[in-house]
């Protein structure tokens, strides 16, 4: 079952613009992660935010987490053509005794950045 649901499903912007993707999840979490996937290849970990954090930055990435609304957002500032990829939020399933090795992914946002 899908834990996270990203919104929008697809996003097309021009280079230099900002891109915002949202993620909602269903159960309580201890952390939420964002991953990027380039065209059917492996996923790359971007950033992790813990449940007691509200905002986190990493380079051009900014992630927010609102546990009361069970939602997170990923902002990519000053986007580049190389940012074109699918972006997924993921949370560890709490069905497995708290093990962190079993992530539940949303369906992803497909971002296209045009030069």
Partner 1 sequence: KAGVTQTPRYLIKTRGQQVTLSCSPISGHRSVSWYQQTPGQGLQFLFEYFSETQRNKGNFPGRFSGRQFSNSRSEMNVSTLELGDSALYLCASRHDRGSYEQYFGPGTRLTVT
Q: Does 59 bind partner 1 (CB under 8 A)?
A: no
Site for partner 1 in 60-79 (CB under 8 A): none
Binding marks (x or -) toward partner 1, 82..111, rule CB under 8 A?
Answer: ------x-x-xx--x--xxxxxxxxxx---
Tokens standing for residue 4: 């996270």
Q: Does 21 bind partner 1 (CB under 8 A)?
A: no
- DSSP label at residue 94: G
d(CA 4, CA 115): 30
Say if residue 107 is preceded by a cis peptide, omega within 30 of 0: no
Distance CA 45, CA 22 (A): 17
Q: Which residues of the shown chain bind partner 1 in the complex (CB under 8 A)?
A: 1-2, 31, 33, 35, 40-45, 48, 88, 90, 92-93, 96, 99-108
């Amino acid at each position: 079952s899908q834990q996270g649901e990203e919104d929008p499903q697809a996003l097309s912007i021009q280079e230099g613009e900002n891109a915002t993707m949202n993620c909602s999840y269903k159960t309580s979490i201890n952390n939420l992660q964002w991953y990027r996937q380039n065209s059917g290849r492996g996923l790359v970990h971007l950033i992790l935010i813990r449940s007691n954090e509200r905002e986190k930055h990493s380079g051009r990435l900014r992630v927010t987490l609102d546990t009361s609304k069970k939602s997170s957002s990923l902002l990519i500032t000053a986007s580049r053509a190389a940012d074109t990829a699918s972006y997924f939020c993921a949370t560890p399933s709490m069905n497995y005794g708290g093990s962190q090795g079993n992530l539940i992914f949303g369906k992803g946002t497909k971002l296209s950045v045009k030069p």
